Every structure is written in structure tokens, then in C-alpha cells.
């Protein structure tokens, strides 16, 4: 099947022999040779697609990154175009490293820019963490050992990544080498779309203090890598592990029971995440040198994720294959249940994690709304009004939404719903039709909901605990509330 990439297309699926989309009339072939077949993901700057190169006999798959410019002021379009081609040159040179995807093509078609890149078959560290939980200290040390040379290479090219996080590191299936992805995309769009000095680019959870002011150095990437390691070790967000009063990290208090991190690795991690720039590692080589002094277990063997994390799972960029149905990882469930999964307000997320892991969607839905009610002191069984939704602490809403996204492989969650709602131009009726909800309220609690894997994208969590007189405005309120989580 061919997939139409035109923003706003309501029926993107087409037969692969079509030249134009039957729904919106846009060309299906990009650059005269790349045929998108599936959407892999989307964000604030554009979308990512899986595509086939039609001009090569073997029809290899590749990754298409579509960058939006249609919403930019007219006077910035030229600047965006210049930045795009400058960054494409950088990507071309970076692709010479064996752990960075090669750039295959770059061009503008209609009102959007496109980057075509090599497909790395494997899973992101975000996806691996979602399926098997926290990494061990040995796995973190091997990750650093294999990834730091990549950072050394890009920094020697005078390039700062700016957005290192678990979702931007892919572990290749064939040899378990970590690949660094998504260079320059945010920089192109954010810099071109804003005029003030010091444009902030990156993901707030992994961002060092200086980057929030638009200043970046090689040490900034090293900080983000360190925070990435902390998240993989603990499963917690950086904001929850840093004491803002004492101005110190408390990440060791969040390690799972029995988790061992060597003294040397602890010292390396602490120096990576120093809030003071001058106390942090200044180059990747410095970290490599310190790690070489640390004891390493099985460093020449394949990445330890092979047995614990990968098992019989395979996948490609942006897609995941979960363990076979009927074979849940009971040890993982027990591990999740026994860990301290408390929010800063005392909410315990462990039950929600177990329901989501076991794909007990209806139970997870009920637990979600129980947690949100508890976050604002509502009684069990109470419905939530729009004003109640506005009172939900951003941190708790973020955590609940993050769990839904992780354990559903980005199919369900409040953020997914908000993106679909905005794609429907904030038309609630179209939104309901898109995600499979009834476009009207019902007196029956579960009327119209499908608590199965076959439910449409964005179908869950439900709106069944929203006050019946206000249900039609809840998507707008939630979209605004989610934005506040990142402000």
C-alpha cells in the first residue's frame, strides 16, 4: 500500500499503483522515486515515514523525514530553505561514521522539505526500556563505551547533536551497535521559525541548564547522555531525581532493589550530569579515558540486551514487535510491582504499569482516571469536570501519559489524542470519528469503547469519566493542559 504524506489528508492509504492520492490529489511518489508505505511517528516539526526506493531493483526500505514549513511566516521560508540544505550537507558528512545513518537524498516537494535516510533495523533504547524495564550498570557501561566514540566524531566535526535521549539511540538488530539519529532536524525548524537570539532546541527532560538559554557545547551533549543513562537505570524523569532545594542529584535513591552500579561508573555518571558546566566532562575522550579505568564485564561479547531485552523481538525504526501473546514476562511484572513507583505527590503508578504491560486496557483506563482523580483529591467514583482537568498537576499527567505511550508503542495516550485532535483542526466530531468514539454522550459507561489491541489509534484512554455535560470540550482542555507539561 502507498501512504499519502500530505498534511491533513484524511484517507492516506492508497493502492501502490496509484500516482496521486485518491483522497486529496497529492503526489504519492517523493523525489520521483521514494514511495511512503507507513507513518512511523510524528512530532512538532513534521512526520517520519517508512518508504521504498522504487529506482533500485531490490526495492530497499528507507526512512523519510518530512519537515513542516507551511505554518512559517512567509519572510522566514527562505531562511528555512537555506538552513535545510546546510544541515543536509552536515548530515551527509556525518553519515560517513558507521554508527550514524547515511543521508540518501534531500529535497523540497510542494510546501515541505524531505530528508531520505538509511533505515537502521532495530529498536530505540526508549522502546527497549518500555518492553523490559531498567538497564543494569553493566549494560549502561557498555552503552557508553560504544556510543561515546560517535559523540567524539560529531564534536570533532564542530557539530552538537542537541537532543540526545533514549528515543534518538537505536540498537541495531544485527550487531547490537548503538546508532545516533535525528541530527539537525529541530535546529533547522526552530532556528528558521524564530527570530530571537538563543533559540532553545532539545527535549527538556534531558537538557542541561545552559541549553535552556540557547547555549550549547560538546559538554551539553555529554550531560544529555548522562541523563539518558540515569533514566534507563531508574525509569524516572530527571526532574524527579534532582533536589532543587539542595541542588543535588538523588538518582541512586531511585535505583531498583538489588541494582548494582560500580563506584567508578557512579563517578563517571555524576561528572556527566554536573549542573555546572566547568565541573562537567568537556570532551567525549575524557569520558572514554575514565571508563577504561573501570572494571568491565563481558565487554567483548554482544550487548547484554540480546538475551534480556531482545529475546525473539525484531523491528525497524519506529516500529516494535512485542513478545508473543500468551507469554507475558512474569518476572518483569513482579519487578515492576515491587518497585517504588511513587510520584512527588505520592501517587503510585505500579498498578497502572502492570495493567498496561499485560494489555488489560479497560483496567488500565479505570486506573488512569483513578490516579488523576487522586491527584486533585477527588473521591473514587466522582466524575471530573473541565475545571478538574485544569487542576491536575502537570507532572502527574505527564507520567500517566508517558506510561500509556510507552506500553502501547505510541498507539494510545493523551498526547496521541491531542495530536489527532489538532490534525482534525480541533473539530471534535471529526476527532471522535477518527479515533472511534461516539460523537455524542451516552448514559452507558462503556458504550462505544473498544478495550482491545484492535481499537483505533488514539482510542484510549477513554473519556468515560468526564462529566457528561462537558465531554465535548475535554479534548481541547487536555491539549492545552499537555502543552503546559512542557512549558
Return all residues near 81 (Cβ < 8 A) that are at least 6 apart: 108, 113
Calpha distance 39→4 (Å, rounded): 9
Alpha helices in 157-203 (DSSP H): 185-193
* Rg of the chain (C-alpha set): 23
Calpha distance 485→286 (Å, rounded): 35
Q: Apex CA 430: angle with CA 428 and CA 432, to 5°?
A: 70
| Phi and psi at residue 122, to the nearest 5° | 165, -160
From the list 16, 17, 53, 163, the catalytic residue is: 163
Task: Cell numbers for 251, please give them.
Answer: 538518582
User: What letters, b where the CB count within 10 A reaches 16 and e where it falls short, cover 446-479?
Assistant: eeebbbeeebebbbbbbbbbbbeebbbebbbbbb
Adjacent-strand bridge partners of 39: 49
Name the pairing type of β-strands 2-3 and 178-180.
Answer: unpaired
Adjacent-strand bridge partners of 249: 242
Q: Which residue has the cell 512485542?
A: 322
Catalytic residue status for 163: yes
User: What letters, b where the CB count within 10 A reaches 16 and e where it falls short, cover 201-238?
Assistant: bbbebbbbebbeeeebbbbbbbbbbbbbbbbbbbbbbb
Which DSSP state fits 324?
P
CA torsion through residues 424, 427, 431, 434, sign? negative
End-to-end CA distance of the chain: 39
Residues constituting the chain: 487
Nearest to 344 by CA among 299, 393, 309: 393
Query: Which residues are identified as catalytic?
Result: 163
Amino acid at each position: 500500500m502507498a501512504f499519502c504524506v500530505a498534511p491533513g489528508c484524511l484517507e492516506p492509504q492508497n493502492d501502490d499503483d496509484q500516482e496521486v492520492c485518491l483522497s486529496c490529489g497529492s503526489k504519492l511518489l517523493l523525489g520521483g522515486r521514494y514511495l511512503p508505505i507507513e507513518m512511523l511517528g510524528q512530532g512538532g516539526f513534521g512526520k517520519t515515514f517508512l518508504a521504498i526506493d522504487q529506482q533500485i531493483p531490490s526495492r530497499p526500505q528507507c526512512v523519510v523525514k518530512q519537515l513542516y514549513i507551511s505554518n512559517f511566516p512567509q519572510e522566514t521560508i527562505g531562511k528555512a530553505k537555506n538552513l535545510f540544505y546546510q544541515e543536509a550537507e552536515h548530515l551527509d558528512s556525518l553519515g560517513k561514521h558507521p554508527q550514524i545513518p547515511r543521508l540518501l537524498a534531500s529535497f523540497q516537494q510542494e510546501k515541505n522539505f524531505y530528508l531520505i535516510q538509511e533505515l537502521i533495523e532495530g529498536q530505540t533504547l526508549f522502546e527497549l526500556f518500555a518492553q523490559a524495564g531498567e538497564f543494569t550498570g553493566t549494560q549502561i557501561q557498555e552503552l557508553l563505551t560504544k556510543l561515546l566514540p560517535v559523540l567524539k566524531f560529531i564534536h570533532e566535526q564542530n557539530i552538537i547533536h542537541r537532543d540526545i535521549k533514549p528515543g534518538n539511540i537505536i540498537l541495531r538488530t544485527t550487531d547490537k551497535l548503538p546508532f545516533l539519529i535525528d541530527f539537525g532536524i529541530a535546529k533547522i525548524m526552530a532556528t528558521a521559525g524564530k527570530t530571537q537570539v538563543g533559540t532553545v532546541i532539545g527535549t527538556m527532560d534531558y537538557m542541561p541548564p545552559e541549553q535552556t538559554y540557547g547555549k550549547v557545547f560538546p559538554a551539553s551533549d555529554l550531560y544529555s547522555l548522562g541523563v539518558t543513562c540515569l533514566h534507563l537505570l531508574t525509569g524516572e524523569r530527571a526532574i524527579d531525581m534532582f533536589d532543587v532545594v539542595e541542588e543535588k542529584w538523588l538518582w541512586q535513591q531511585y535505583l531498583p532493589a538489588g541494582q548494582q552500579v560500580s563506584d567508578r561508573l557512579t563517578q563517571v555518571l555524576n561528572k556527566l550530569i554536573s549542573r555546572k558546566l566547568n565541573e562537567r566532562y568537556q570532551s567525549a575522550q575524557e569520558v572514554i579515558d575514565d571508563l577504561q579505568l573501570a572494571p568491565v564485564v563481558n565487554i567483548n561479547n554482544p550487548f547484554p540486551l540480546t538475551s534480556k531485552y531482545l529475546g525473539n523481538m525484531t523491528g525497524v525504526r519506529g516500529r516494535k514487535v512485542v513478545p508473543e501473546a500468551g507469554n507475558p514476562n512474569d518476572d518483569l511484572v513482579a519487578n515492576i510491582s515491587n518497585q517504588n513507583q511513587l510520584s512527588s505527590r505520592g501517587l503510585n503508578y505500579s498498578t497502572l504499569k502492570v495493567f498496561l504491560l499485560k494489555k488489560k486496557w479497560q483496567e488500565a483506563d479505570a486506573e488512569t482516571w483513578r490516579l488523576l482523580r487522586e491527584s486533585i483529591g477527588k473521591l473514587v467514583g466522582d466524575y471530573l469536570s473541565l475545571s478538574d482537568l485544569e487542576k491536575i498537576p502537570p507532572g502527574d499527567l505527564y507520567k500517566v501519559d508517558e506510561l500509556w505511550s510507552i506500553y502501547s508503542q505510541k498507539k494510545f495516550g493523551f498526547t496521541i489524542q491531542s495530536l489527532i485532535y489538532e490534525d482534525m483542526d480541533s473539530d471534535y466530531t471529526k476527532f471522535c470519528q477518527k479515533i472511534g468514539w461516539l460523537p455524542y454522550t451516552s448514559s452507558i459507561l462503556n458504550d462505544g469503547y473498544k478495550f482491545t489491541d484492535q481499537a483505533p489509534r488514539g482510542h484510549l484512554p477513554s473519556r468515560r469519566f468526564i462529566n457528561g455535560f462537558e465531554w465535548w470540550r475535554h479534548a481541547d482542555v487536555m491539549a492545552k493542559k499537555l502543552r503546559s507539561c512542557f512549558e
